[in-house]
């Protein structure tokens, strides 16, 4: 399923004969030619079960894809991964967490090197979300014509996070290689250059998006929900709207910590069930002993604290300026 709008799910049906096999080569024009676009609604038997972009589904009814036809989604296949967000970090009272994208392999965290300036705490937050989703993260550092990547690279390369450095009109071979034959979700704040990237990677992106929107009756480009776009060289890019807050209320302390591999060793002397926020936490002494960058501990604590109802600046911002829904 590649797009959803007001209860209408746009699905691609692979041509007979290719079904069940992963397509190695996609069509040159990148719009999924060879696939049939079918619009479907949710069958009653699915009940409240959600369907999100990236889901593999079973369709019945009119699957011709002809205009004004409507198929039904009767089954959602088991997912290999699920990227989720809470509406914000503190809405854990009702446990609502919103699925964002299913079955992705890779989370591409798009960050500008300048204009807007990089925000490591947002990167940390996305790394935790990737870990929670069981998706491999990578950094895509944009606008390298405006500022050097050295500082950010020094911060994240030691954590084993792969990265590419790009600029508008520049060489994208390395990025292309990393997204080839994979399902990659692009996340990033407004203005970091995500659309510029998508347009460079998928020459028909605008046409593909307006095609999807025409099919779902949306009719024009809006960027309030995720859309999957096929890459000319194989694989898929799932473009999500500008992310201002990516709540992690549903994520456990252990999972948050997993996003900070450089700090894990320092927690062995923590008391059992340590929140890593109180005075008994062993991380303070460990960081004071030069085992890790104090800024990393501060970032971990801000993330953990924001889950408990305090606010870090991402949350303060999103409260003042609510982010569009992703799901
Ligand atoms: N200097 C410079 N500017 C860039 C680069 N990439 C993109 N821009 C500019 O940055 C601005 C934002 O780029 P977009 O691609 O629209 O950013 P976006 O992340 O899609 O933003 P939203 O559409 O708001 O989500 C545009 O004016 C681009 O021309 C780059 O590598 N260098
Ligand atoms: Zn601790």
Q: What are the structural domain ranges in the chain?
A: 3-76, 80-327
pLDDT band at 208 (very low <50, low <70, confident <90, very high): low
What is the ipTM score, two decimals? 0.96
CA-nearest residue, atom 17 of ligand 1 = 193
For residue 142, the ligand 1 atom closest to its alpha carbon is 31
Token pair of 306 as six digits: 């924001």
For residue 170, the ligand 1 atom closest to its alpha carbon is 31
Expressed in angstroms and rounded, the spacing between residue 276 Cα and the centre of ligand 2 is: 3
Q: What is the CATH number of domain 80-327?
A: 3.40.50.300
Tell whether ligand 1 has an atom less than 6 A from the beta carbon of residue 143: yes
Handedness of CA 235, 240, 242, 247 (dihedral sign): negative
Determine the average pLDDT of the residues in 305-309: 70
Expressed in angstroms and rounded, the spacing between residue 305 Cα and the centre of ligand 2 is: 13
pLDDT per residue as tens digits for the range 94-128? 556 678 899 999 999 999 999 999 998 889 989 99
Token pair of 158 as six digits: 């030691």
Q: Which of 165, 191, 241 to mutate to test the pocket of ligand 1 (most atoms within 8 A of CB)?
A: 191
């Amino acid at each position: 399923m590649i797009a959803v709008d007001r209860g209408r799910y746009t699905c691609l049906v692979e041509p007979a004969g290719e079904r069940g096999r992963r397509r190695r080569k996609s069509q040159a024009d990148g719009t999924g030619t060879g696939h049939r676009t079918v619009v479907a609604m949710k069958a009653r038997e699915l009940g409240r079960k959600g369907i999100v972009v990236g889901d593999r589904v079973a369709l019945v009814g009119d699957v011709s894809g002809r205009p004004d036809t409507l198929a039904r989604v009767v089954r959602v296949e088991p997912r290999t991964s699920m990227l989720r967000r809470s509406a914000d970090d503190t809405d854990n009272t009702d446990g609502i967490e919103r699925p964002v994208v299913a079955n992705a392999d890779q989370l591409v965290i798009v960050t500008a090197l300048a204009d807007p300036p990089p925000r490591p705490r947002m990167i940390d937050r996305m790394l935790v979300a990737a870990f929670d989703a069981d998706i491999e993260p990578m950094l895509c550092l944009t606008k390298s014509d405006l500022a050097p990547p050295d500082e950010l690279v020094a911060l994240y390369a030691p954590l084993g996070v792969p990265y590419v450095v790009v600029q508008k009109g520049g060489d994208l071979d390395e990025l292309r290689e990393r997204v080839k034959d994979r399902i990659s979700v692009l996340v990033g704040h407004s203005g970091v250059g995500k659309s510029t990237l998508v347009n460079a990677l998928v020459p028909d992106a605008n046409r593909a998006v307006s095609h999807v929107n025409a099919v779902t009756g949306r009719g024009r480009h809006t960027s309030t929900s995720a859309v999957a776009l096929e890459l000319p060289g194989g694989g898929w890019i799932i473009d999500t709207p500008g992310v201002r807050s990516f709540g992690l209320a549903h994520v456990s302390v252990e999972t948050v910590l997993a996003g900070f591999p450089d700090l894990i060793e320092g927690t062995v002397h923590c008391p059992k069930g340590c929140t890593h926020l109180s005075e008994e936490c062993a991380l303070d002494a460990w960081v004071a002993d030069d085992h890790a960058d104090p800024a990393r501990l501060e970032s971990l604590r801000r993330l953990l604290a924001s889950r408990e109802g305090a606010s870090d600046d991402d949350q303060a911002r999103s409260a003042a300026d609510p982010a569009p829904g992703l799901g």
